[in-house]
Structure 1
């Protein structure tokens, strides 16, 4: 019996050590000397058990990354979906109006957590087998030389917790057999609670706690995450009241499937009956009042794939309005659960010294719901032959299931709402060439450390949050993390803009690339090339898909002056060919520097899937 107890104690000790990289660290104290006698010897280092302490007075830090939210969705930036808790954060903090993500989920998450560009962090697309490629920018394996913020904070006295979506673990490593080096626990988090993939059912999530899958109990994932956040904080403070925490909170919301209890979606009944065209006009007016877009901004044209609301049949208008009532309820409910955690911190006296960063979206609004939306029986992502009329009837027949527990994991609103919630931009998620794919709201809130309030217009990128946080808590990037020499951070700190709305922009150039679509930003100028932007699975109707042009040399580049043209209304490529040439050359240089080449696109992904399945489905893809 005693042997069993000893073995159990040893296992628990090893488990705790594995989950806490800061359990014991070495600090060099000299050259050292080893002789036969201890009196004549001197160690070169000392071991610090329990890890280093955080800098005195260091704040708690919460990073919140909401999924698939366009610039014009949440009320905090002028949208028509109520987000009172985000509103409160912004009203008592800062709104960054010129903040950018990568254009899609895994690359944004890798860039955020490592402070390096997504291809530099080996996450040019996803870690899943179907789009992974054996090139440095696309192998889906974040290198140890580019440690996450959690690894750095954990080694410097912070408790670290991950909640929600991860989507950074290669497929073959997502079972309970591990290895766990690319799970959250292997990337610096003491504890994690959420899901490893890109999407999950909100009521039956593919739930993971620490290093094992667990069975969900039917509670909505938003509530589970908020409950767990409060539990982590409570438990930490009961044992180590002076130890600060870092929480990376990435809800499944508002990625598909759009699921929420009717008490939330029914709050919006009838509120979107005027449709997406009127929605865009109202939101632009709100944005101008708030100052989140320039006063001279005008709406981009309605995308050619989106019909005018007034031209839709009455039954389709009713259907599409319901899709967005559900989405709005889903987003407001997400805001509510965020508010529960913030209120807990306020009630326990911890909010004042907590820095909160909220990226409202990891990319623009999702185009993946296609023309009619996706529910349960509807065809998604071009897998089956079906006529347009058959598809339409399927969706209409499932009106009452929209937003419920019965929908599938790709359940999503129609494309018209993606453009509406991206107001005032063109295009959407995945389209890295467009502000609509990469331009998201950012909120920064820190009562103790940021006294200024209001709007900040400095250009910023998702990689900037890492160095900004390090400076805020009083740390520098270590030379080594877990004995791996660290590559420099590629983001720039925003701290100088906290107190000074006119502080110069530090992040002056940035490339973007997702699946071949690409852009380069430099001092307010932007050159961009779309790479089959209409690859939205529309052409599964009648069993066909639009042809894909995979040759990037045939892509047409456009040029914009974003200093004067906030949402890319005026293509200046013909007027300033030398500026376009300069920017294209800069993109070429950046692409080589950050492992962007070769350009892995959806055509490549489709071919890989065909090889893996050993089945060529002519209805799935046709290539010239």
Structure 2
């Protein structure tokens, strides 16, 4: 303290008081507020004092391990577990020995689904009504892409209640500007409750050269720009990862995390969030998987739809008298295609099928490993087969190595696109197929028995996905459940199942209410009435409101582009606006796949649901409406700024 000098010529009383306070603070005279949680005794000497350490946090007695599996861009009718023609024995086994939920829903695109899943709150309410990407987010509460700390994740809750928490694969809700080596890291997975993370932060990545991150370190394939505007160089991990499929890498890492944790704390439960890049584009997989399907799709997507709806009836997943909706107008009848188109399009689907079956195999490695270490019976699985409906982003003729936007806005004719793809047919599925995605005719088939596709928030085809719940210790009788569910329900369902109450605070931050509804009530009661009564949907202008089995829906196609108009993104001849969007009305209790529009017959019901949508929009930060046109204009504006 020898350098401290006192001013003895102070004339101002106010100035004197300020300096006196500063001196007292520096001399350590300021009183320290005692910790209200400390239960020991602090005396002047050790003899007068009593030591105290808080008890270590433990999970509830007998709490199971928890595994969440979320696939990408799958579609309701793709997997054999839900009547599809793609072999998925692992998902079939989990479903056959657990529960199949037939009336479960997502948001129609990836990031809002993931935000809702992780937080148990509606996507717009947690600021992820679109994406967390700079070019596709907006500076409004529902769209800025930044999940607030008041919306704690499942990982934060479970970690604070005695679980170890791991995430592997796709995260998708870290803002682009945070996703560099400079951080900040509070919106990376490790800042949102995960002890460890291994995967990619964006919406998609190359399966053989992924944008790979472990915890807070970039490993491989990072093309994000540093402050100098130059691409960051790949580091020494590149050689170790070369040639390995991302699904293999994340499965290896998940098993490593589990084994390390069980070795150190055998009785401590873990939470694993397993979210592969599959089956999002690029569709890439080894030939040994895709070649299993050679010739299997030569009959085309119309026959596929017929076969799948028949399988779904046999499994009891849909009503016995169900009928297919009319094929969406932008998809051509298979029998009208040329031989070259049929050859090319069938090969696209062979690749996709191999990609999905391979994903099922990688999941089997997790299941078999847990069985091998005697943890399978003490693990509850929640398997969501797709974060939205099957993807329309492959356009009419499919994509291979040409960037989507370049193809959409390029000068190639349809015939030129077909010729180019035929010349590159042998690239399909390989590491060179960096944009590989099937024609959207197959996406419609994969969404059987529904209409429409990914991004179509107004339709069951964009939002209904299979859910499997597998829990040997807690679900004794396998079966089918038809209760309405939404992705925000998985968090409260998990908490109720493992015996944990949602916290009022997380690390001193007051928490917003959980908006999801636990599905645990339906575990033992197939006939229990649905408890999730109302749910909005909104993506890029398309919107809907579900209430007690009724649904009002408004498809929206902006005037600049329409993602499925005339078989591709194209200029609209008759633009729609929010004011003239045509609302539809469906009674899903009697018409589960939206074949009969009742809007003209029941206008009062439609008005009731439209008013309910407006109420939900105000409560959940949906306004202002933002559609594809707005997003692309914003992207161009930022680029030119």
TM-score by length of 2: 0.88
Partner of 1:551: 577
Give the deviation of 1:231 after TM superposition. 0.7
| 2:590 counterpart residue number | 564
1:60 matched to 2:86? The reply is no
SS at match of 2:54: strand
CA distance in 2, matches of 1:441, 1:514: 20
SS at 2:638 equivalent? helix
Equivalent of 1:123 in 119, 124, 128: 128
Q: Match for residue 19 of structure 2?
A: none
Deviation at 1:31, TM superposition (A): 9.6
Contact map agreement 1:531 1:549 (CA 8 A) in 2: no
Q: CA deviation at 1:29?
A: 5.1
Say which is worse superposed, 531-540 or 545-554, in terms of deviation.
531-540
Cα distance in 2 for residues equivalent to 1:430 and 1:592: 22
> Could you tell me which residue of structure 2 aligns to residue 578 of structure 1?
604
Contact 2:541 2:556 in 1 (8 A): yes
Maintained 8 Å contact 1:382/1:538: no
Answer yes or no: is the 8 Å Cα contact 1:382–1:540 preserved in 2.
no
Residue 587 (str. 1) matches residue 593 (str. 2): no
Does the Cα contact within 8 Å between 2:563 and 2:570 map onto a contact in 1?
Answer: no
Q: In structure 1, what is the equivalent of residue 156 of structure 2? A: 151
- Alignment-derived partner of residue 401 in structure 1: 427
In our comparison, the structure showing a higher alpha carbon Rg is: 2
- State the TM-score, normalized to the length of structure 1: 0.90
From the superposition, tell whether residues 547 and 152 of structure 1 become closer, same or farther in structure 2 (CA, over 3 Å).
farther
Which residue is equivalent to 2:173? 168
Q: Which residue of the partner structure matches residue 536 of structure 1?
A: 563
Residue-pair matches, total:
585
Match of 2:478 in 1: 453
1:288-326 Cα offsets, whole Å, 9 max, x none, are 000111112110111111111111111110100000000
Instruction: Confirm whether residue 496 of structure 1 aligns to residue 521 of structure 2.
Output: yes
Distance in 1 separating the partners of 2:586 and 2:330: 23
Contact 1:137 1:597 in 2 (8 A): yes
Deviations 1:517-540 (A, max 9, x none): 100001100000001188227679
RMSD: 2.1
Instruction: For 2:543 and 2:127, locate their aligned partners in 1 and report how far apart those are by CA, in whole Å.
Output: 17
Query: Any stretches of 5+ residues in structure 1 without a counterpart?
Result: 1-25, 616-624
In structure 1, the residue matched to 2:464 is 439
Deviation at 1:131, TM superposition (A): 1.6
Q: CA deviation at 1:496?
A: 1.0
- The equivalent of 2:350 in structure 1 is 325
Deviation at 1:603, TM superposition (A): 1.0
Tell me the residue number matched to 2:267. Answer: 242
Which of 181, 199, 208 is the equivalent residue of 1:194? 199
> Would the aligned equivalents of 1:550 and 1:601 in 2 still touch at CA under 8 Å?
no
The residue number in structure 1 matching 2:380 is 355
Equivalent residues of 2:382, 2:467 under 8 A apart:
yes
- 1:467 paired residue number: 492
Q: Is the 8 A contact 1:357 1:444 kept in 2?
A: yes
Instruction: Give the alignment partner of residue 417 of structure 2, picking from 366, 374, 391.
Output: 391
Return the match for 2:303 from 278, 289, 293.
278
Q: Taking structure 1 as reference, are residues 483 and 371 closer, same or farther at Cα in structure 2, changes over 3 Å only?
A: same
Q: Is the contact between residue 63 and residue 357 of structure 1 (CA under 8 Å) also seen in structure 2? A: yes
- Aligned counterpart for 1:48 among listed residues 39, 46, 54: 54
* Secondary structure class of the residue paired with 1:403: coil
Q: Does 1:479 align with 2:484?
A: no
Q: Point out the more displaced range, 148-157 or 218-227.
A: 218-227
For the residue of structure 2 that corresponds to 1:130, the secondary structure is helix
Instruction: Tell me the equivalent position of 1:98.
Output: 103
Per the TM alignment, residue 27 of structure 1 is displaced from its structure 2 partner at its CA by 10
- 1:229-282 Cα offsets, whole Å, 9 max, x none, are 111111111111011000011100000000000000000000110000000000
* CA shift digits 1:15-58 (9 cap, x unpaired): xxxxxxxxxxx996589998878888899xx7537x51111110
Provide the C-alpha distance between the structure 2 equivalents of 1:576 and 1:60, rounded to a whole number of angstroms: 48
Q: Is the 8 A contact 2:395 2:567 kept in 1?
A: no
Match of 2:223 in 1: none
Q: Is the 8 A contact 2:457 2:537 kept in 1?
A: yes
Residue deviations 1:478-522 (CA, integer Å, cap 9, x gap): 111121111110000011100110112110110000111100001
How far apart, CA to CA, are the structure 1 residues paired with 2:275 and 2:104?
18
Map of 1:16 onto structure 2: none
- Residues 330 and 564 of structure 2 are in contact (CA less than 8 Å); yes or no, is this contact kept in structure 1? no
Asked if 1:418 corresponds to 2:424, the answer is: no
Question: Which one of 604, 618, 623 corresponds to residue 597 of structure 1?
Answer: 623
Cα deviation, residue 378, structure 1: 6.9
Mean Cα displacement is larger for which, 212-221 or 438-447? 212-221
The answer to whether 1:207 aligns with 2:212 is: yes
Task: Answer whether contact 1:378 1:395 (CA < 8 A) is retained.
Answer: no
* CA distance in 1 between partners of 2:342 and 2:622 (Å): 42
| 1:211-222 equivalences in 2 (<5 Å) | 211-215=216-220, 216-222=241-247
Gaps of 5+ in 2: 1-33, 221-240
User: What corresponds to 2:79 in structure 1?
Assistant: 74
